[in-house]
Structure 1
Amino acid sequence: MQAEGKFWPTYTMKNSEKLLNRILITRQPEQSAEFVNLLSSRGLYPFILPMIETVPVECEIKNKAFDYLIFTSSNAFNYFKKYINSIKFGKIAAVGKKTAEAIEREGFDVNLIPEDYSGKGLVKKFMNREINGMKFLIPGPKKTSNTLKNFLVSKKAIVESPVVYETIGIRYPRGFISGFIQENLIDCITFASPSAARSFLSQTKIPDTVKETVVIGRTTFSYLQENGINAVYPNKYTVNDMVELICKINDEKE
């Protein structure tokens, strides 16, 4: 399944001495406002060219009561929330501050957030806990890492992981992405998920004119590394920390 390409206007910019000045955002526009504002507030110029979009998937939940609901992204919660009143649950765990905020805006308490904003961070949280026989619900995308699920199952927990959304790569006309990068003199490309990176690389390569590739976390970094692409990522897996890393690179090059 493929989505139609979306075209985004360019705008005129003043010259800058910064190494990384023109930043390409590849996430969905409705999820990019914070990224755009943070970059703009630091004197950088953001451009949006989304590589993916998400669509809901209808799911059926087999069990009706759980000890833990685990949400690994705000997308997972937003696509699942219409089902939440049909089940009973004890506690909620969330990967990342933004995911927790999305949950809390709907009036639910978040009981557990790992310091490492990843599934592996939650593995560490449950490593020394007795969870034998406990029931976990982990709604998520069609394609996802099973690291957390496999760990919980290995500890003899009961895990249900319904698919509540699917990530689809946005397809652009041949040469459009490379032309967009060249026309707007993009010198830094950002990826907030492996899916965005996968969609990009399936259509074009990262040109030599791009000076740095900044990604949100280790999973996306590993995907790019496997494809022979160098990238950097912040210690905390947030958009704010991505911007701080870009600014740090600029400061070090001045």
Structure 2
Amino acid sequence: MLKPLEGNTVVLTGTTKSTTILTKIQSLGGEAISCPLIETKETIHRNDDELLQKARIVDWLIFTSQNGVRAFCDKMKRHHLTPAHFNGRVAAVGTKTAKSLEQNGFQVSFMPTVFSADVFVKEFPAITGDELNCLFIKGNKAKDTLKRGLPFDVKEWTVYDTHENLTNIQSLIELVQTKAKPILIFASPSAVDVFANHVAPITGWDKAKLAAIGHITAARIAFYGAEVTYKPKVYTMEAVIEEIQRKKEINHERS
């Protein structure tokens, strides 16, 4: 009996290699390839110590990515702080972000029903009231959705930078040109932009099937005139794999 992803090549374009997801794809019979198109690096500020002291007294710390959690916790450890030193509550966008926070000793008090900043700004005030002092722990590419959309004071702290990772461009070009309709998974608009600028001019968009995590990423793909084949309602990598399986089963039944 064929496995669900037999004959499919699935490419992860995010910042880090997710061994769990790669193993999952392989267990389902697919060829799993990690080809990061972006990379992140902690931003070191001369006044990190002062910024950490301010972070200790806000009402809420808000995290929207694992990268933000990682950079923030690295700063904490360097300055000999633990979660117990922070007075405020913690909000997270996404189960992976929440899990990363919990693994570092934080307790997550709020997570939106959809893992997106524009849903966060709608749901968060309902449980917090409107007189808050919040700190958004962010990357340099983060949009101003929280600062603009929340009805109270939101300070921002950029703790990591996102950069293009061009080391995999040639291998990705060759993969798209030689594999039969590989499935490319995009988890951020930044990765979409790198593909659009460095791969698509040579390969085009139609030689691969595109998967998007989140409607913002999907919208960025659509901006370039390309079609998203897989867009799960839950914004996680696991949900993308399940969506790929589901659509394959439907196509198999129709054939």
**In which range does the TM-score fall when normalised by the shorter chain?**
0.7 to 0.9
CA distance in 1, matches of 2:195, 2:139: 19
Partner residue in 1 for 2:177? 182
Partner residue in 2 for 1:138? 136
* C-alpha deviation, 1:243, in angstroms: 0.2
Q: 1:63 aligns with which of 39, 54, 66?
A: 54
CA distance in 2, matches of 1:167, 1:20: 33
1:47 aligns with 2:45: no
Match runs of 1:120-199 below 5 Å: 120-129=118-127, 131-152=129-150, 155=151, 157-172=152-167, 176-199=171-194
Match runs of 1:1-254 below 5 Å: 21-30=8-17, 32-59=18-45, 60=48, 61=51, 63-64=54-55, 65-84=57-76, 85=81, 88-129=86-127, 131-152=129-150, 155=151, 157-172=152-167, 176-205=171-200, 206-210=204-208, 212-231=209-228, 232-254=230-252
Q: Percent identity?
A: 26
Contact 2:37–2:168 (Cα < 8 Å) also in 1: no
In the TM superposition, what whole-angstrom CA distance separates every residue of 1:43-68 from its partner, at most 9, and x where no partner exists?
21111211011011024428341000
Partner residue in 2 for 1:11? none
In the TM superposition, what whole-angstrom CA distance separates every residue of 1:99-136 from its partner, at most 9, and x where no partner exists?
11111111111111111011123212224356443110
CA distance in 2, matches of 1:20, 1:71: 38
**Compared CA separation, residues 94 and 20, structure 1 to 2 (3 A):** farther
User: What is the root-mean-square deviation in Å for CA atoms of aligned residues?
Assistant: 2.4
CA distance in 1, matches of 2:169, 2:188: 23
Partner residue in 2 for 1:8? none
Counterpart residue type for residue 235 of structure 2: Y
SS at match of 1:128: helix
Counterpart residue type for residue 38 of structure 2: I
Number of matched pairs: 235
* C-alpha deviation, 1:23, in angstroms: 1.1
CA distance in 2, matches of 1:18, 1:252: 13
SS at match of 2:226: coil
TM-score (norm 1): 0.83
Contact 2:8–2:31 (Cα < 8 Å) also in 1: yes
**Compared CA separation, residues 127 and 20, structure 1 to 2 (3 A):** farther
Contact 1:23–1:45 (Cα < 8 Å) also in 2: yes
Unaligned segments of structure 2, at least 5 residues: none
In the TM superposition, what whole-angstrom CA distance separates every residue of 1:198-247 from its partner, at most 9, and x where no partner exists?
1111102144332x201111110011111111113100000110000111
Greater length-normalized contact order (CA 8 Å, ≥ 6 residues apart): 1
**Compared CA separation, residues 18 and 42, structure 1 to 2 (3 A):** closer
Contact 1:197–1:224 (Cα < 8 Å) also in 2: yes
Greater Cα offset, 163-172 or 126-135: 126-135
CA distance in 1, matches of 2:37, 2:182: 17
* C-alpha deviation, 1:28, in angstroms: 2.9
CA distance in 2, matches of 1:189, 1:238: 15
TM-score (norm 2): 0.83
Contact 1:51–1:170 (Cα < 8 Å) also in 2: yes
**Compared CA separation, residues 98 and 158, structure 1 to 2 (3 A):** same
CA distance in 2, matches of 1:207, 1:130: 44
CA distance in 2, matches of 1:174, 1:78: 26
Unaligned segments of structure 1, at least 5 residues: 1-14
